[in-house]
Structure 1
């Protein structure tokens, strides 16, 4: 039964501490074959005035936003075509890659690229997987199915997709998309 103890400065709210506990549980499970309820995580808070580094008291760093929630909010803005809200979530060096397309850096490019392919598309999500990369980026994968309408008005549904996002500095810097849309369309 693994036990993990974490010491943090006071200042993180209960949601942030819960995220820490879940992430530490998942990290242990990545290496140790233990069920989640067999792993104990204890978070100890230390008042900021009792912690010194280099003879100076320190404050806790602000928690990063939940990357899966951030991606979900971005995808919701895209689906409702709130491009201003979606653009505000993108980094200056944002790039996206869709099947059969050259890399794109602007949401307007995506809309122009998709216009001759379908009238609209919506996503149903099965799950979101979030993790930290070796570098600065948080990675989020979302899995699910696409539904929508082809250009001739025929509906489609159940098309598998996976999206992969990189988030750095609170902004999405990369999106890669894989789906079975071309295969389904070819066999329709």
Structure 2
């Protein structure tokens, strides 16, 4: 039964601690073949007045937003065509790549590119997966199916998709999209 002890400065809320506990449990499971209920995570808080680094009393950094929740909120804003809300979630140097398209850096480019391809698209999510590697952005994959309407008004559904996002500093900096829309449209 693995036991992980973590010391954090006080000030992190219950949601931040829940996310830490889940992330540490998942990290242990990458190496140790243990079910989640066999892994114990203990989080100890340290008062900030007891923390020094470089002879200076310091405070902890605020928790980053959950990258899965950030991506889900972004996708919801895009589906609602709330471009200002979606744009607010994007970081400097944002780029997105869709099948058969040149890289795009502005959300309006995507809207314009998609206009002759379909009237609208909605997503049904099967899951979101997030991971972090040393020195790299957080990665979020979401997967599921697309439904919508072709330009001539015929409905479609059940088209597989996977989106990959890079999240740096709580902002989305890259989106890569893979889906079967061209294959299904070719048969429509």
Q: Distance in 1 between matches of 2:178 and 2:95?
A: 15
Mean Cα displacement is larger for which, 135-144 or 9-18? Answer: 135-144
Aligned to 2:131: 131
CA RMSD of aligned residues (A): 0.9
Q: Distance in 1 between matches of 2:24 and 2:99?
A: 35
Mean Cα displacement is larger for which, 56-65 or 32-41? Answer: 56-65
Alignment of 1:54-133 (within 5 A): 54-133=54-133
Mean Cα displacement is larger for which, 56-65 or 127-136? Answer: 127-136
- Cα deviation for residue 92 of structure 1 reads 2.4
Q: Distance in 1 between matches of 2:135 and 2:181?
A: 32
Aligned to 1:51: 51
**Could you give the per-residue CA deviations for residues 14-73 of structure 1, whole angstroms, max 9, x where no partner exists?**
000000000000000011111000100000111111222222222111000000000011
Q: Which runs of 5+ in 1 are unaligned?
A: none
Which stretches of structure 1, 4 residues or more, deviate above 6 A after TM superposition?
none
**Could you give the per-residue CA deviations for residues 139-168 of structure 1, whole angstroms, max 9, x where no partner exists?**
100011000001111100010000000011
- Cα deviation for residue 117 of structure 1 reads 0.5
Q: Distance in 2 between matches of 1:151 and 1:34?
A: 50
Q: Distance in 1 between matches of 2:134 and 2:176?
A: 18
Q: Name the SS of the counterpart of 1:144 in structure 2.
A: strand
Q: Distance in 2 between matches of 1:47 and 1:165?
A: 36
- Normalised TM-score (structure 1): 0.97
Aligned to 1:154: 154
Q: Distance in 2 between matches of 1:116 and 1:133?
A: 38
Q: Which runs of 5+ in 2 are unaligned?
A: none
Aligned to 2:173: 173
Q: Name the SS of the counterpart of 1:104 in structure 2.
A: coil
Aligned to 2:28: 28
- Normalised TM-score (structure 2): 0.97
Q: Distance in 1 between matches of 2:125 and 2:34?
A: 27
